[in-house]
Amino acid sequence: MKISSRTLAIILIVSSFSIIGFVLFSNTKEEVTTNSQSDNQSIPHDTIDDFNRAYAHYQSKEYELALADYSQALKINPQDTSAYMNRGIVYRKLKKYELALADYNQALSINPQLPKVYYNRANVYNELKKYELALADYSQALKINPQLALAYYNRGIIYDKLKKYELALADYNQALSINPQLPNVYYNRGIVYDKLKKYELALADYSQALKINPQDTDAYINRGNVYAELKKYKLALADYSQALKINPQNFYTYYNRGKIYAQLKKYELALADYSQALTINPQLFEAYTNRGIVYAKLKKYELALADFNQALKINPQNFYAYYNRGKIYAELKKYELALADFNQVLKINSQHTNVYINRGNIYAELKKYELALADFNQVITMDSQNPSAYNNRGTVYVQLKEYELALADFNQALKIDSRHTNAYNNRKIIYSILNNQQ
C-alpha cells in the first residue's frame, strides 16, 4: 500500500503588513526666528530689514535670496546669532550640511546658551545619521530650555530609530505634557506602541493625531494597518479608502488595501489595487510579489511567474518571490527549477522552515529520500513543534519501509496537532500495514 510523500498543500505566503516609517517632515521641524531682536541685541535698522527680508524669502522657499540677505545682515552685525542660526537652517534645506554646522557652531561660539541653535544643529546631525551627536544637542537644548517640546519629540524619534522604545515613549510623553496639540507626536508614539504590539494604545494615538489633523494620510494608513493586524478588516478598508480620498497617489495605501482584499479572497479587487500601486510606483517589488501570489491562487501561473520575475529583477534579494515562484514550479512539476529557487531562498534566509518542507517534498517526489529526510530533520531541529515536518518525514520512512519510525512520526504529529488529518489518515494506513505483516 503506497502513501504519497507529498502530503502538504503548497501554501502561498503573503508578506505581513508593514508600518510606514517616520514622515520626513515630522523628524526635523525647525524653529526660525522672525528677527534678530529676539537675542536682545542692539542692532542697526538696516540689519533688521535684511533679516526680515531674508525670513520672507525663506517662507517663500527662495532659499538663495534668503542666504544673500542673511549674509548681508552678518556683514553689518557679525555678532548676530539669529542670522547665523537661520542661515544654517537655509543651508540645511539645501542639504549643505557642513555649511549649516559651521553657522550653528559660530552662533554657539558667540553665545553657548542658545537652545534653538543646539536644537537645529541636532536636526542636521540627525539627517547625517550621527545620532549620538544629535542626542547630545537635543539634551543640551532641553537643559537650557526644558519647555522645548519639539526637542523632546525629535529626541524621541532618534531613540525609536535606536530601538530604545521606553526612552522614546518617555520623550513623546514629555512633549505632549508641554503641548498636547502636536499631532505628529501622537502619530510617532503610535508607531512605537505598534512596534511593541500594544495595539489599543497605538489606535488611540493614531485616532488622536487624526482628531487634531484630519488630513494626515499616514495616520489613516497606520491605523488601518493596526486594524488589519487585529483582523478588523472593514475598519482597515475604511481607513485606507479615506487615506486615498486625501491622497490618491499614495501607492502604499493601494498596496495595503490590496493585501486586505486578498485576505478576504476578493481577488479581483486585490489585483486592481496592486496594479494601481504599480502604476504609481513601478519599482514596488512587494506589489509584484503579492500580485503574483493572487495570480497563483487563481491558477494563472504564467502571470504569476511574470510578476515574480519582475519582482526579482527589481530586488534580487526578495526571497518571497523565489519561494513562491519555486512553489509554482513544483506545482507544474518543474522540479529542478523549483529546487533552484528554494536553494536561493535558503541562501538569503536559512531560517525559512517552509522552504525546507517544500524542498523535502520535492526530494521525496524524486525518490531522493536521504535528502528529503535531511530537510525534514532540519525543520524539526529548528521547530520541534511542527507537525507537518513529522508527518512528511513519516511518509518518507514509509517509502523506506521503516514502518515503526513512520508510526512514531505520525503519532508525534498528532500529539502536536490532534486535528492533523494527513497524519491521522497515514497512521491508519500504517496500522493496516503492520496488521498485515503479523
Domain boundaries, the chain: 26-33+44-162, 181-248, 250-350, 351-438
Query: Is there a common fold for 26-33+44-162 and 181-248?
Result: yes
CATH of domain 181-248: 1.25.40.10
- The pLDDT, as a whole number, for residue 5 is 32
Distance separating alpha carbons of residues 302 and 308, to the nearest angstrom: 10
- The pLDDT, as a whole number, for residue 330 is 95
Distance separating alpha carbons of residues 33 and 45, to the nearest angstrom: 17
Which stretches of the chain score pLDDT less than 50?
Answer: 1-45
What's this model's pTM, rounded to 2 decimal places? 0.80
316 is written with which cell numbers? 534580487
- The pLDDT, as a whole number, for residue 59 is 85
- The pLDDT, as a whole number, for residue 24 is 26
What would be the CATH architecture of the domain defined by 250-350?
Alpha Horseshoe (1.25)
Number of alpha carbons in the 13 Å side-chain half-sphere of residue 63 = 11
Q: Is-contact 12 331, C-beta < 8 A?
A: no
Cα–chain-centroid distance for residue 74? 45
Third-level CATH fold of 351-438: 1.25.40
Long-range contacts of 287-291 (CB under 8 A, 24+ apart): 287/251, 287/254, 287/255, 287/258, 288/314, 288/321, 289/15, 289/318, 289/320, 289/321, 289/324, 290/14, 290/15, 290/255, 290/258, 290/259, 290/262, 291/258
- The pLDDT, as a whole number, for residue 48 is 65
Distance separating alpha carbons of residues 337 and 334, to the nearest angstrom: 6
CATH of domain 26-33+44-162: 1.25.40.10
Q: DSSP letters of 220-270?
A: HHHHHHHHHHTT-HHHHHHHHHHHHHH-TT-HHHHHHHHHHHHHTT-HHHH
- The pLDDT, as a whole number, for residue 47 is 54
Distance separating alpha carbons of residues 398 and 400, to the nearest angstrom: 5
